[in-house]
Amino acid sequence: MNKKHLPEIMAPAGDKGSYLAAVAAGADAIYVGLKHFSARMMAKNFSISELAQLATLGRDHGTKTYVAMNTLVKPGDPESAGRLLDRLQKTVKPYAIIVQDLAMLTLAKQVGFTGEIHLSTLANVSHPAGLEIAKKLGAHRVVVPRELNLDEVKAMAEACPKGLDLEIFVHGALCHCVSGRCYWSSYLGGKSGLRGRCVQPCRRLYRQEKENPARLFSCTDLSLDLLTKPLLEMPKVAAWKIEGRKKGPHYVFYTVKAYQILRDNPKDAKAKKMAMDLLEQALGRPTSHSTFLPQRPFMPIDPKGETSSGRMVAEIKRDQKKLYFQPREQLNPGDLIRIGYEDQPGHRTIPIRRRVPKRGRMDIPYSRHATGPSLPVGTKIFLVDRREPELSKLIKGLDAELEFFPTPESKPSVFTVTWPKAKARSKSRGKGRSAENITVYRDLPRGRVHGKGAYWLEHGTIAKINRSAISQSQWWLPPVIWPDEDKKYRSLIREAVKKGAREFVINSPWQAAFFTDHKKSILVAGPFCNTTNRLALSVLKGLGCSSAIISPELPAEDVQILSQNSPIPLGIVVKGMWPFGIARFLSEEVRFDQPIKSPMHETMFVRKYGQNNWIYPGWELDLGNESKTLERLGFKFFVTMKEDWPKAVPRPKRTSIFNWRLDLL
């Protein structure tokens, strides 16, 4: 195969040790985050000055540095995000930035960023038609969803326009919900995954009826390992990405080495065995190929198995009043172990101070910082990082090299955002006409339609509704369209337009590609576009959207800021069933429309529409009491999302105002 088509191996780094481990392993590229605007805010991440020094070392060793600025940009963020990007450009000079929010595309142009712009998997470019829009907006690369199978990756690659390439995750943690379509952590308390603050509620124990609690939504890690060979035949797949910016140097080094071997020796059986041995030592969760092989998909959820990060090496035992364990393998000084699961009271991570032989005894030290009751006998212990002498020596040598690359002086940025022109203000703003009410139905309602009717775009609904109602209704596209559904929705749009439909709600910016042949259609940017700032609204206007339904996860203060000087009219979801998240796969143990309870006694249920599983909280969103405030702010329409309530799920005594009174970090 032509060498120029070999994909780059892209390593994660959440701290200096992991960055140096990636360089030591010979990674082609390393992706990192800064202290702000990174979708892995729980990692240590980097300051501008520290990263500038490391990036210079990386360039000297032939390794590119990519910087993830892939969070949602809140209404008050563009100025600070632009200044940070300006400083990054001048001081670090990264090869590329990785972004989720449309605002970052605009800020990159205004700053004069000279590197590449990559669209994060959080941007949810999930179907072939969307690739043209991505290129049109200035992207050089798209990170495809982790749910795609081999045939779908091939379809995306074949549709990829000139000047745009693809990046695929080959190893690391899997989220249960589709990236960019998870509001679980945010809905339960303001810790937004779209802002890098996810508390991973999908990793918790859940219970159905009287069954024992199980990890019904906790995924094993992804490992494409031997299945990467077909990707070598797709030149548009330019990068193999390893997930893990919260992982240690050991994991980074071993996974990079393994995928280098698999890439460079696709026909060598001995090399493949060596790569698999290296991955076995990488200390990730148990792995699977997930759904990558379409003819042999594997469910990446084992409710009764181990899905905690690290390799399980022991269980807690008790000797009189002392807790101890006997590891299944030797532990060396510097190794890190985690006692218990992350959601278990009293869990903690501790370093190994002395060598512990296989089956030797180690007493668990008392910690006054441990919270909750003492961990019970049988609690599992995981090896999460190693400090091998050989790797430590390599890292130490590279660390010494940093002295030859002095830290550059970081100067403050004077960048100022150029804001889009605001729409003309109505003289009746805040008084007079009430906002229009729009109700989104799954099927034709049995009774009277309250306000304007809206429907999810499906053939069955179009066939049932009369022609006059079709022209007066909104038609909503789903939050995720998969590659094999691309033609389906093109056809449905043509059918709806032919019958008189005019107004369509797109639920990702990339769905605007479906309407290039329907110039008279009215486009509305839906709430799943995750619109949270004026710059993004301006980009959506440029794509043909005449109005936008903003993200309902914003708190009141941010909603107020966003409503000021908007380039297009705004709406907001004020009532109904807003999902925790949308998933493509689901454990066989989970039953549809049945109550599922969390450890905090929160009720939820799952419902399937097409290829997507919608995970709903057992209580509705209700911002009805804020209607007058929203009208005063100039909101033109309020949206209610209707769902038939499952008979088996108890009616709630509560509603949610989402993050309205919280400070979304």
Lowest mean pLDDT among 296-300, 303-307, 627-631, 654-658: 303-307
Q: Is residue 24 part of a domain?
A: yes
Question: Confidence class of residue 2 from pLDDT cuts 50, 70 and 90?
Answer: very low
What's the confidence (pLDDT) of residue 387?
83
237 lies in the same domain as 294: yes
Here the tokens at position 310 are 């690290």
281 lies in the same domain as 338: no
CA pair distance 129, 151, nearest whole angstrom: 16
Taking 80 as the threshold, does the pLDDT of residue 47 lie above it? yes
CA pair distance 502, 474, nearest whole angstrom: 8
User: Could you tell me the CATH number of the domain that includes residue 156?
Assistant: 3.20.20.70
- For CA atoms 534, 539, 540, 545, the dihedral sign is positive
Sequence-separated (6 or more) residues with CB below 8 Å from residue 142 = 118, 119, 123, 125, 131, 134, 156, 160, 164, 165, 166, 167
Question: Confidence class of residue 278 from pLDDT cuts 50, 70 and 90?
Answer: very high
What does each C-alpha distance from 363 to 7, 51, 333, 352, 385 come to in angstroms?
47, 39, 15, 11, 19
CA pair distance 437, 354, nearest whole angstrom: 67
CB atoms within 10 A of CB 347: 19
Q: Which residue has the tokens 């997507």?
A: 612
457 lies in the same domain as 569: yes
Q: Is residue 244 part of a domain?
A: yes
Domain boundary among 240, 265, 298: 298
Q: Which residue has the tokens 């360039």?
A: 59
CA pair distance 297, 585, nearest whole angstrom: 10
CA pair distance 103, 307, nearest whole angstrom: 36
Mean pLDDT of the chain: 93
316 lies in the same domain as 290: no
User: Could you tell me the CATH number of the domain that includes residue 452?
Assistant: 3.20.20
Tens of pLDDT along 415-437? 999 999 887 665 545 455 689 99
570 lies in the same domain as 469: yes
Average pLDDT of span 39-64? 88
What's the confidence (pLDDT) of residue 348?
86
Q: Which residues pair with 474 in a beta bridge?
A: 454, 503
Q: Is residue 265 part of a domain?
A: yes
CA pair distance 585, 615, nearest whole angstrom: 11
CA pair distance 40, 132, nearest whole angstrom: 28
CB atoms within 10 A of CB 136: 14
288 lies in the same domain as 317: no
Taking 50 as the threshold, does the pLDDT of residue 1 lie above it? no
**Any idea what DSSP says for residue 450?**
P
Q: Which residue has the tokens 């999908």?
A: 202
Question: Confidence class of residue 103 from pLDDT cuts 50, 70 and 90?
Answer: very high
Taking 80 as the threshold, does the pLDDT of residue 225 lie above it? yes
346 lies in the same domain as 472: no
Question: Confidence class of residue 131 from pLDDT cuts 50, 70 and 90?
Answer: very high
Lowest mean pLDDT among 160-174, 266-280, 402-416: 402-416
Q: Is residue 583 part of a domain?
A: yes
Taking 50 as the threshold, does the pLDDT of residue 505 lie above it? yes
Query: For residues 466 and 502, is the Cβ–Cβ distance under 8 A?
Result: no
**What's CA 130's distance to the chain center, in Å?**
18
Residue 15 vs residue 428, higher pLDDT: 15
Q: Is residue 315 part of a domain?
A: yes
What's the confidence (pLDDT) of residue 556?
97
Q: Which of 305, 265, 201, 246 is nearest to 583 (CA)?
A: 201
Lowest mean pLDDT among 4-8, 9-13, 183-187, 577-581: 4-8
Here the tokens at position 443 are 């099927």
Q: Which of 106, 36, 98 is nearest to 533 (CA)?
A: 106
Lowest mean pLDDT among 142-151, 219-228, 231-240, 308-317: 308-317
Here the tokens at position 128 are 């072939």
Average pLDDT of span 185-199? 93
User: Tell me, what amino acid is at 394?
Assistant: L
User: Tell me, what amino acid is at 613?
Assistant: N
What secondary structure does DSSP assign to 602-636, as a single string? -EEEEEEETTEEEEEESSEEE-GGGHHHHHHTT--
Q: What percent of the chain has pLDDT over 70?
A: 96
Domain that holds residue 444: 436-656
294 lies in the same domain as 348: no
- Helix or strand or coil: residue 301? strand
582 lies in the same domain as 632: yes
Domain count, the chain: 3
CA pair distance 316, 324, nearest whole angstrom: 6
For 207, counting Cβ atoms within 10 Å of its Cβ (0-12 exposed, 13-18 middle, 19+ buried), the class is middle
Spell 597-612 as b/e; 16+ CB within 10 A means b.
Answer: bbeeebebbbbeeeeb
Q: Is residue 399 part of a domain?
A: no
Query: For residues 260 and 272, is the Cβ–Cβ distance under 8 A?
Result: no
∠ CA 312-315-317 to the nearest 5 degrees? 165
Query: Strand runs (DSSP E) across 396-521, as ranges?
Result: 436-441, 452-456, 474-476, 503-506
Sequence-separated (6 or more) residues with CB below 8 Å from residue 385 = 247, 248, 249, 250, 251, 283, 335, 336
- For CA atoms 244, 245, 246, 249, the dihedral sign is positive
What secondary structure does DSSP assign to 348-400, as a single string? EEEE--S-B-TT--EEPPP-TT--SSPPPTT-EEEEEE---HHHHHHHHHHHH
Give me the phi and psi of 172, to 5 degrees please: 125, -170
Q: Is residue 423 part of a domain?
A: no
User: Could you tell me the CATH number of the domain that includes residue 325?
Assistant: 2.40.30
CA pair distance 390, 15, nearest whole angstrom: 19
Tens of pLDDT along 291-338? 999 999 899 998 887 777 788 899 999 988 788 999 999 999 989 999
175 lies in the same domain as 117: yes
CB atoms within 10 A of CB 102: 27
316 lies in the same domain as 292: no
With residue 662 as reference, give the H or E element that holds it. none
Residue 425 vs residue 410, higher pLDDT: 410
646 lies in the same domain as 504: yes
**Any idea what DSSP says for residue 123?**
G
Query: For residues 398 and 23, is the Cβ–Cβ distance under 8 A?
Result: yes
Tens of pLDDT along 516-533? 989 899 999 999 999 999
Sequence-separated (6 or more) residues with CB below 8 Å from residue 93 = 55, 115
Average pLDDT of span 569-598? 97
Domain boundary among 383, 410, 428: 383
Q: Is residue 391 part of a domain?
A: no
Q: Which of 190, 191, 189, 194 is nearest to 177 (CA)?
A: 194
Residue 136 vs residue 599, higher pLDDT: 136
What secondary structure does DSSP assign to 505-531, as a single string? EESSGGGGGGGTT-TT-EEEE-GGG--
CB atoms within 10 A of CB 269: 8
Q: What percent of the chain has pLDDT over 90?
A: 81
What's the confidence (pLDDT) of residue 431?
53
CA pair distance 84, 87, nearest whole angstrom: 5
Tens of pLDDT along 76-94? 999 999 999 999 999 999 9
Domain boundary among 341, 364, 383: 383
What's the confidence (pLDDT) of residue 424?
62
Here the tokens at position 94 are 């990264």
Taking 70 as the threshold, does the pLDDT of residue 4 lie above it? no
Average pLDDT of span 438-452? 88
CA pair distance 589, 358, nearest whole angstrom: 36
